[in-house]
Amino acid sequence: MHTTTTTKWDTKVLGGVGGALLLLAVMFLWRDLQVPRELLLAVAAVGAAGLAFLHVPNTRGLLGPVAVLVCAGAGGLWYAATKQELLLVGLALTLAVAAVTVWRSHTREGDEPDRVRDVFTWYGLTAAAVAASWAFYFHFLTLGIAEDNVARRLVLTLGWLVVGVALVLMARQRGTPVMRDAGFAFVGIAVGKALLYDTVNLHGSLRVVGLAAAGALMVGAALWSSRASESRSA
């Protein structure tokens, strides 16, 4: 008992002091080397990766997923406000860390299932994917090669919808409720964009095609899910 208590105390001391030194290094990095502040998001994503891989006692493994979710939300809002290109690096790293965090949550042995941790993990991935995809879409399509092509506005709508439907169907097969919830988050965002943005900013055949494709995809997914459920129960 005494050994276990000592080990936990040593871990806290070493981890706390080490974390404080890392924060101090980041502070001097920005002050002394004049690194662009937009790269702070990339540093935060790397820190989130460290928290995801580090086993910190009495945290239920929540530090990494929460850090990823914060990076995704803050990074997405930061890019929306400033449109700074360097933020794309941080958003890409955040998405990669989120994907690895989800993968590790399914491959770690000996961990008890934790609904709260799974929710933060999957919604961190969802937020990171939405923020990164929108930022890259805006930078490379809206401001880049498809600036004059209004059809680009369907890319995110249909892309998010495909990802959402795929996650919902996979979740039904695997019996993973939190994956299903993340899938419906993608579906909700895609449908919201279709109704509130695409129907206002698209006209003629593009508006019809966009709504028809989205509707057909969802109806097809519903039929496939229904038939799969009937075949399993037969």
pLDDT of residue 128: 96
Confidence band (pLDDT; 50, 70, 90) for 216? very high
Nearest to 154 by CA among 184, 204, 190, 196: 190
Task: Using the predicted structure, report yes or no on whether residue 58 has a pLDDT greater than 80.
Answer: no
Average pLDDT over residues 64-68: 90
Listing DSSP states for the chain in one string gives -HHHHHHHHHHHHHHHHHHHHHHHHHHHHHHHH---GGGHHHHHHHHHHHHHHS--TTSTT-HHHHHHHHHHHHHHHHHHHH--TTHHHHHHHHHHHHHHHHHHHHH-SSPPP-HHHHHHHHHHHHHHHHHHHHHHHIIIIIIIITTT-GGGHHHHHHHHHHHHHHHHHHHHHHT-HHHHHHHHHHHHHHHHHIIIIIHHH--HHHHHHHHHHHHHHHHHHHHHHHHHHHHHH-
Counted residue by residue, the chain has a size of 234
Domain map of the chain by residue range? 149-234
- Average pLDDT over the chain, rounded to whole? 85
Rounded Cα distance, 174 and 143, in Å:
40
Q: Which range, 28-37, 132-141, 203-212, has the best average confidence (pLDDT)?
A: 132-141
Confidence band (pLDDT; 50, 70, 90) for 146? confident
Average pLDDT over residues 194-202: 90
Which pair of structure tokens corresponds to residue 41?
């998001």
pLDDT of residue 15: 65
Give tens-digit pLDDT for 31-55: 666 667 888 899 889 888 888 777 6
Average pLDDT over residues 62-72: 90
pLDDT of residue 8: 61
Give tens-digit pLDDT for 167-187: 999 998 888 899 999 999 999
CB 97 within 8 A of CB 68: yes
Half-sphere exposure of 157 toward its Cβ, with a 13 Å CA cutoff?
27
Rounded Cα distance, 76 and 65, in Å:
16
CB 26 within 8 A of CB 43: yes
Task: Using the predicted structure, report yes or no on whether residue 3 has a pLDDT greater than 90.
Answer: no
Task: Using the predicted structure, report yes or no on whether residue 165 has a pLDDT greater than 90.
Answer: yes
Average pLDDT over residues 57-84: 88
pLDDT of residue 71: 94
Confidence band (pLDDT; 50, 70, 90) for 29? low
Average pLDDT over residues 80-86: 93
